[in-house]
Amino acid sequence: MGAQLRIYRRRMRSVKATKKITKAMELISASRIVKAQQRVAASSPYANELTRAVTAVATFSSTKHPLTTPSESPRRAAVLIITADRGMAGAYSNAAIKEGDQLVTALRERGLATEAYLVGRKAVNYYRFRSRKIAGSWTGFSDNPTYANAKEVSDALIAAFVEDAATVENGVDELHIVYTQFKSMITQIPEARRMLPLEVVESEAPSGLLPMYEFEPNAGEVLNSLLPRYVEARVFNAMLQSAASEHAARRRARRAMKSATDNADELIKSLTRLANAARQAEITQEISEIVGGADALASASAGSE
């Protein structure tokens, strides 16, 4: 029975270690989700106002700029897909990857080649496993992105966008982004949006005189200055939205982990009872062997007399 007792104790140590991990992950997600929500709420107004500013420049000027003017014969599009670095977040990363695949399919139906730019190890591993070409990848910050991370990604996208897709291998005519929009703790929706060229939607003209805009030195220079800031702000906001969605998805998964923790408690109790029974049987056997040995010695002594 000694071997059986060792098996029970080994399983108990394993279950206790798993219980500590699941409990720690549950507490970490609960603490990080609040901060992630606050960062999303703080960055969204800036990104939205910057988009309105760019839209205003494009709407109230006659300047034809790559920022707002679609190519007459687009050849290639860049697709940025934002996923998680780690697992145990339910279907969060898979949903974003699936949305990215649908976008790539739609772009190819239009006759466009695609360049994949990936954020998060889940997307990188998915593309590498399928031997797909990766134009750029970034990992290690999916759950806590900084503006510096967004700028690094944006610089690569802008560099590809300003190149001529007809003559440069990595040049693109369109920039698309796939991320997970954070709606609430329960709802997170993967979305695909075109960042460049900017889709300008003109609202109904207000009554009265329209505002007069003056651009210094000119509208083209203003758009050139706004281009990197616009892309950086949109990418950063998308990263924050995705990070909050990742924490929310992981927290939901933690509820399953909590069930696993509770199950671990029950399993530990069951294993403890089995281990005690095995130990008791082992002690009983040892006592029986000792008593049997004593009786044998007593019988041998009585026979010799």
Per-residue model confidence as pLDDT tens digits over 19-76: 777 677 667 777 778 888 888 888 888 888 787 777 777 666 666 666 677 777 888 9
Burial 71-106 (b: 16+ CB within 10 A, else e): eeebebbbbbbbbbbeebbbebbebbbebbeebbee
Q: How far is CA 15 from CA 63, 84, 203, in A?
A: 66, 27, 60
Question: What is the predicted pLDDT for the residue at 210?
Answer: 46
Name the nearest CA neighbour of 246 among 195, 284, 286, 190.
190
Is residue 305 helix, strand or coil? Answer: coil
The pTM assigned to this predicted structure is 0.74
C-alpha 133/C-alpha 117 separation (Å) is 10
Average pLDDT, the chain: 80
Tell me which residue of 161, 149, 83, 72 sits closest to 115, measured CA to CA.
Answer: 161
Euclidean distance between CA atoms 107 and 171, whole angstroms: 16
- Fold of the 47-200+215-248 domain: Pyruvate Kinase; Chain: A, domain 1 (3.40.1380)
**CA–CA separation, 40 vs 185, rounded Å?**
13
Q: What is the mean pLDDT of residues 210-232?
A: 75
Q: How far apart are alpha carbons 302 and 273 in whole angstroms?
A: 43
Q: Which residues, at least 6 apart from 120, have a Cβ–Cβ distance to it below 8 Å?
A: 81, 82, 83, 84, 85, 93, 139, 142
Stretch among 42-56, 108-122, 253-267, 280-294 having the lowest mean pLDDT: 253-267
Percent of the chain past pLDDT 90, that is, above it, reads: 34
Per-residue pLDDT band at 132 (split at 50, 70, 90): very high
- Sign of the Cα pseudo-torsion (143, 149, 150, 153, in order): negative
Return the SS3 of 296.
helix
Q: How far apart are CA 78 and CA 196, in angstroms?
A: 10
- Beta-carbon contacts of 253 under 8 Å, excluding residues fewer than 6 positions away, are 88, 89, 90
Q: Which residue has the tokens 């690569």?
A: 156
In the predicted structure, residue 1 carries a pLDDT above the cut 60: no
